[in-house]
Structure 1
Amino acid sequence: MDLLPEDNDLISIGISILAGSLVGLEREYKNKSAGFRTIVLICLGATAFTMVSRYGVGSDDRIAANIITGIGFIGAGVIFKDKFSVMGLTTAAVIWVVAGIGMAAGIGYYGLSLTISVITVLILSVFNKVESAMERLFLTRTIFVVFQDMDTDHLEALKRVMDKHAIKHTRKTVSKRARKLSVVFELNADRKNLQQFNNELMGLGYVEEFYYNS
């Protein structure tokens, strides 16, 4: 019985921790729900299961498949969906990729493991800047507005304000809540016009509250 891991196993563990740390630091810096420790542990866990599968007989494929299944449950746990939006999809995707990075380290593809981790960090950081640049040009937002009463004239008045600021709008839902009219719009506009619209919206007497879900 071998009480100590083989040299290759120690290298796999070290590469797994290093590769997971690269991605985990980026997630921790952005204060995501799956932060540094979580990402490193997911990567290390995938490596450990892959290493164990190497010593099994005819179990490699089953263990690899079960790793993917288990990661799916973890990824689902970080996704949050409310009535108007879904959050956590990127974090779930990162968890899925990190598991692949750990599996690559566990099977001995150290260069592939480190390469994918670096590429993942670049995608999370550089592509985020690309998304921000696109948002500065054109935004799509979902707004939830509650009026002070049930007067449907307020709805038409709000549409005129949107048109005034060159905001394209699509009405998604209209409902009654505590004897007040509430409406959900999908808005399309550039950032400057949307900000001007928000400023005017805050001063409208017939609007009781509003908030956005991107």
Structure 2
Amino acid sequence: MELPLRFQITDEDLLKIGFAVFCGGLLGIERQYKNKTAGFRTIILITLGSALFTMVAQQAGLGVNINVITGIGFIGAGVVFKDNTGVSGLTTAAVIWVAAAIGMAAGAGNYPLALITTIVTLAVLLLFSLLEKYIDRVHHDKLFIIVFTNTDYENLHLVEATAKSHHLVAKRRQINKSGDSLQVTLVVTGHKKHINKFDEELLQMPQVRSF
């Protein structure tokens, strides 16, 4: 069965395209300002492409093209990176996913939904980052690789007790004994100012060679 396709461009089509570009541009400016992997042009192209796929699918009588979500998943996976310190790019991947949804809403002609979602997303990215910074200050993680001048485990216990005295939680990750020295990897969690004080105390310990 042949699907009826129309190839003329209407004012409504141009409005959908323009609205998708507008919403994508708002999100893209925020990403570009923060020097993220997916910046201004990338986010616009994602919303534009999603809108076009939706428009073509609707004109062909196929409804909303859910395969757009699958394709966006591959793009989002490409901006997520894992290293020794953790995973980065998750927020950018989420923005790409939301941008595609906004583009689909614009392509379907649901302009209020696309605009409200854009505004809410910007609020999360801009305003919630302040809350996130506060949380990072009061619940900060820092990795310490401490090398002691000898192999006495009492030195490790002293360091852990010092961390506890500053209301910090020290978790052992790795302990290596090499020759006349002991190397310990600790993850210390707590308020950033308390971790700074812990740093200062480590500097004063004669049994700590480096950290």
**TM-score of the superposed pair, with normalisation by structure 1:** 0.82
Q: Report the counterpart of residue 139 of structure 2 in structure 1.
A: 139
Query: What is the identity, as a one-letter code, of the residue corresponding to 2:186?
Result: F
Matched with 2:103 is 102
Partner of 2:41: 37
2:15 maps to amino acid? I
C-alpha distance in structure 1 between counterparts of 2:73 and 2:149, whole Å? 45
Instruction: Tell which deviates more after alignment, 109-118 or 143-152.
Output: 143-152
Is 1:54 the counterpart of 2:58? The answer is yes
Kindly indicate whether residue 15 of structure 2 is the aligned counterpart of residue 14 of structure 1: no
Gaps of 5+ in 2: none
Q: How much identity, in percent, do the aligned residues show?
A: 39
Distance, in Å, in 2 between the alignment partners of 1:134 and 1:82 is 22
Q: Comparing both chains, which one has the higher relative contact order based on Cα–Cα distances under 8 Å and sequence gaps of 6 or more?
A: 1
Query: Deviation string for 1:59-90 (max 9, x for gaps)?
Result: x35x32x1111111111111111234111111
Change beyond 3 A, Cα 1:148–1:100: same
Aligned to 1:212: none
* Cα deviation digits, residues 19-67 of structure 1 (max 9, x gap): 0111111111111111111111111111111111112243x35x32x11
Give the structure 1 partner of residue 71 of structure 2. 70
Answer yes or no: is 1:87 the counterpart of 2:91: no
- Report the residue type matching 2:210 in the other structure: E
User: Any gaps of 5 or more consecutive residues in structure 1?
Assistant: 210-214
Corresponding residue SS for 1:170: strand
Taking only aligned residues, the RMSD between alpha carbons, in angstroms, comes to 2.6
Q: Where does residue 151 of structure 1 map in the other structure?
A: 151
Higher Cα Rg, which structure: 2
Q: Counterparts in 2 of 1:199-214, with a 5 A limit?
A: 199-202=200-203, 206-209=208-211
